[in-house]
Structure 1
Amino acid sequence: MQVATDAAIAGTGQVLTVLVMAVALGMDAFSLGIGIGLKGIRKLDILKLSLIIALFHIWMPLMGMYTGQYMSMLLGGVAVKAGGALLVLLGGHMIYSSLRGDAVQLLDHRTIWGALLFALSVSVDSFSVGVSLGMFATDIPFTVLTFGFFGGMMSILGLLLGRRVGQSLGEYGEACGGVILFAFGVLFLI
């Protein structure tokens, strides 16, 4: 009887751990979604971008889990730094674009490459988490589907919030969004 109780407690602890990690990983998508939403985004683009982010939040930790323990020390810091550099570039471009007008167009979240680049930037840290989780006996389908659900839902919330705030900011929305992306990129690089 005691063994069954201990297993139930361990299972509950694992579920809570996965949920907390999913929310933490989804916060990147939420806060960076605010930055993109400030620039102005259509509702259909919000759904497309959030779906791609959800898929990346499934795929990246799954790849990380299968990569294994020997890669965690090598890629843990590198993945975060690469994501940070990418965000600095995206944020810098948005700031530059807002100051120069619409003539500068390097990244467009409405294109497949822009959406993939953005999804990769908010999901790259989930690869490192996946590598760490690969060392433990975790329920892989539950873990990656939970990560995908929270990544997608939190990006929808962030994009919608940014869109609403961006409408009231007007022409300064893109610059504000760029500053947010740039700041998060710098934080990842520190």
Structure 2
Amino acid sequence: MTLLVGEVLTLSLMAFALGMDAFSVGLGMGMYKLRYRQILYIGFTIGVFHVIMPLLGMMAGKFLSVYFSEIAAYIGAGLLMLLGLQMFWSSLKAEKESLLTPVGFGLLIFALSVSLDSFSVGLTLGVLGAKTALVLTLFGVIAMVLTWAGLMIGRRMQGWFGKYSETLGGAILFAFGVKMLFM
């Protein structure tokens, strides 16, 4: 029983740390004018990606853990920087037609960028033989809740910053991507 509690606590802390990426990026993305239904859907999508990516990582964990963890970090950082630049650029243009928005393809890029580190962790957990169902449940639920929290806080901040909120949101996403490159 004590071993299970320790494993749940350890995996919960790991899931929380991984979900903080989604929270941080959610702060920036929340400044994009989102309806509550979109926020619900985005959080759910991030949660699903935080289940799929570690599952894929756990499946591949026995083979490629060191190689893919470094590549995944670079890809995730690049996607966040691209999304941030696009959001920043579209805020400066007169027309408000954005190429990447948190719907459709833009949502998939957003979800992928914040869940790539979960793939890397899944690689390691696969090698260590962690309980797959427990890992996937904790990673998915915690990422979803933290994404909702970040999006809701970002949505509130959008009102405070007015027309500059999308510019600030893009800058936050870009800065977070740069930070990921140097971690």
Answer whether TM exceeds 0.5 for this pair: yes
1:21 and 2:17 equivalent? no
Give the one of 11, 34, 57 matched to 2:50. Answer: 57
Aligned residue pairs, count: 182
1:123 and 2:111 equivalent? no
Q: What 5-or-longer segments of structure 2 have no aligned partner? A: none
SS at match of 2:127: coil
Give the one of 152, 174, 180 matched to 1:182. Answer: 174
8 Å contact kept, 1:53–1:151: yes
Indicate the residue corresponding to 2:24 in structure 1.
31
TM-score normalised over the length of structure 1:
0.92
TM-score normalised over the length of structure 2:
0.96
Deviation at 1:58, TM superposition (A): 0.5
For 1:151-190, what aligned pairs fall within 5 Å after superposition? Answer: 151-190=143-182
Larger-gyration structure (1/2): 1
Q: What 5-or-longer segments of structure 1 have no aligned partner? A: 1-7
Indicate the residue corresponding to 1:68 in structure 2.
61
For 1:3-152, what aligned pairs fall within 5 Å after superposition? Answer: 8-110=1-103, 112-152=104-144
1: CA distance, partners of 2:75 / 2:180: 9
8 Å contact kept, 2:87–2:98: no
8 Å contact kept, 1:61–1:131: yes
Paired residue type of 1:84: A
What do residues 128-152 of structure 1 show as CA deviations (whole Å, max 9, x unaligned)? 0000000112111011011000010
2: CA distance, partners of 1:175 / 1:81: 24
